[in-house]
Amino acid sequence: MGGTRQDVPGTAPVPVSGGVPRGELGDALAHFHAQSYDKDVSQVETLFFGSEPSNGLARPVRGQIRPHLNALNPLRGLDAAGPALGGPWSPAQRLLAACVEAVRVRRISAADRYPVHRAYPSPRGLFGADLFLLPAEGAAWCLRVDPQSHALQPFGGRDAPSDLEKALSEARLVVAADRHRYPPGYGRLRPSLARLEGGHLLACLALTLTRAGLNPRTHPNPDHPACAEAAPLLPEGMVPIAAITPGPGSHGATALSPEAAAEVAARVSPSGRSLRAWLDERTSGVSTANLVTSAHVSPEQGSRVTSGLVMAFAEVRAVLYEPDALRLYRHVLEGDRVDGRVVRELLPDGSEGPARPVPRTGETNFSATLGYTFAVDFPAWARAHGAEHAETVLHTLLGWIAQWGCLGAAATGLCARPMRNYAEEDWACVLGLAPEQTPAYQLWVRAERGTYLDIPVDAAPETP
């Protein structure tokens, strides 16, 4: 820790050809490989790095409204494993409850370096992704769902709709991200971190909307009409990356169906625990934890994490133009021995590839006894989605998959910490990846939890 990767090496971690022609797509591939350089990897010294708090919790917005959340407590009290919310609640009430429960601040860990926690992870707890609501068509209004106060905050110079119940009955959801909320030291990696976080939020929304009795269709593509219509109305720095629409219909081949979300949710949800309690227990663990400080977690103990990841991985591969452009690997310490490093590929049908030893190197230390790596063939993503949007679609989907692993960990008393700060070329080598594969995201599972002086958080009191 404490160093900085200053320059892109003369040779990229993996070849920058892979069938991509010189020019626009070649430049996109070079940019993808360059994002991990020119970033500071020193430990954080302060939560905030600018003149204002960076996570959007500080002050109300002119014209904001505090809607009645009649369906929120019934939704929170549901058994996490289902069935979906019954009762007389309108679509608008169900939507509001699901959005609030997905995005809200859940606790403050006063004894940790990164104190703010939600149901999904964020680099250093700074939360670069936000949730916005738009009408079923057009952009007559744009409302941000505030994660602390639960208020609906109008943006883009448009007032909130006068008949909120009617307006929200078929509302579209847009997830947007602001890379500037992360410290400048993250360098060129900041846009990808923001998109990954947005994917985690999308999966959390898919869960809560499903449990609310709605049918969320997820569109992990900034080309979606809702994203295009929201873009000019969003706060400065916010870039729309994905949308969620109600019911049937599709836009783009990579849309994830309501059935996909329901099937993955069924795989990871714990029975006999409330939805609220389950989401409250999602944690990355203490930020200073590592292999030495963490108890051993076997593949059997992490089976629900694996199951959730594999199911979500299979759902995403099913909508890819080139399914083999995304692969999933599990690495473990067999018998809790530091030298017993083994990796297996996890296949979408639930089977596993043969075990391969993982050599020990200084740049590929395991962060826990159980971990997962997503590897991608980026030229295939660039061919499918174009140079402009390939990184956005890729990282959004990686975050969506990884969130189900995080929720699987919470269901079994474990913590799961995503990781993007590593040397791709070294990990590609020790995992034995093919030349066209790049390790794009990791998830590490630990047994240490603790409370760290946690303070539960709910809606802030209404301001006069």
Per-residue pLDDT band for 15 (boundaries 50, 70, 90) equals very low
pLDDT class for 452, splitting at 50, 70, 90?
Answer: low
Q: Helices H, strands E: what count in the chain?
A: 11, 17
Where a domain ends, among 260, 283, 306? 283
Strands 454-456 and 438-446 come out as: unpaired
Residue that finishes a domain, picked among 283, 304, 334: 283
pLDDT in tens, 63-83: 899 999 999 999 999 999 999
**Chain centroid to CA 150:** 21
Say how far apart CA 378 and CA 358 lie, in whole Å: 23
Domain end marker among 223, 250, 283: 283
Residue 53 lies in a domain: no
Question: Does residue 7 carry a pLDDT above 50?
Answer: no
Checking if the pLDDT of 8 tops 60, the result is no
Record the tokens describing residue 5, joined without a space.
């990767």
What pLDDT is recorded for position 29? 79
Would residue 130 count as lying in a domain? yes
pLDDT in tens, 273-326: 999 999 999 988 877 777 767 788 999 999 999 999 999 999 999 999 999 999
Q: What is the dihedral of CA 272, 275, 281, 283, to 10 degrees?
A: 130
DSSP notation for 196-247: HHHHHHHHHHHHHHHHTT--EEEE--TTSHHHHHHGGGSPTT-EEEEEEEES
Residue 308: φ, ψ to 5°? -65, -45
User: Looking at the structure, do residues 160 and 235 belong to the same domain, yes or no?
Assistant: yes
Same domain? For 263 and 412 the reply is no
The pLDDT mean for the chain works out to: 86
- Has residue 39 got a pLDDT over 80? no
pLDDT tier at 51 (50, 70, 90 boundaries)?
A: very low
Q: 116 and 186 in one domain? A: yes
> Residue 460 has what pLDDT?
53
Q: Please indicate, yes or no, whether residues 298 and 365 belong to a single structural domain of this protein.
A: yes
DSSP per position, 341-383:
EEEEEEPTTS-B---EE----TT---SSSEEEEEEE-HHHHHH
Q: Is residue 435 assigned to a domain?
A: yes
Q: What is the pTM of this model?
A: 0.91
Helix, strand, coil tally for the chain in percent (to 5): 35, 20, 50
Does residue 148 form part of some domain? yes
In this structure, are 200 and 327 located in the same domain? no
* Total number of domains in the chain: 2
384 three-state secondary structure: helix
**Residue 99 within a domain:** yes
Whether residue 208 sits in one domain with residue 344 = no
| Poorest-pLDDT segment among 134-143, 343-352, 353-362 | 353-362
- Whether 6 has a pLDDT exceeding 60, the answer reads no
Same domain (yes/no): 94, 108: yes
pLDDT at residue 249, rounded to an integer = 64
Give helix 24-34 / helix 378-411 axis angle, nearest 10°.
Answer: 40
The confidence score (pLDDT) of residue 211 equals: 98
Residue 387's domain is classified under what CATH number? 3.40.109.10
pLDDT tens, 325-354? Answer: 999 999 998 876 777 899 999 999 999 999
Burial 253-292 (b: 16+ CB within 10 A, else e): ebbbbbebbbebbebbbbeebebbebbbbbbbbbbebebe
* Same domain, residue pair 330 and 303: yes
- Same domain? 264 vs 322: no
For residue 354, being part of any structural domain is answered with yes
Cα radius of gyration rounded to whole Å, the chain: 21
Indicate whether 168 and 255 sit together in one domain: yes
> 353: domain range?
284-446
Examine residue 417 and state whether it is found in any structural domain, yes or no.
yes
Instruction: Please give the C-alpha separations between residue 404 and each of 182, 209, 267, 320, in angstroms, as whole numbers.
Output: 24, 15, 9, 19
Same domain for 252 and 315, yes or no, is: no
CA gap 131, 174 in Å, rounded: 6
pLDDT reading at 116 higher than 90: no
Name the residue with tokens 């936000």: 130
- Residue 40, domain member (yes or no): no
Write down the residue that tokens 């400048």 correspond to: 184
Residues 255 and 374 in one domain: no
Instruction: Give me the CATH number covering residue 129.
Output: 3.40.109
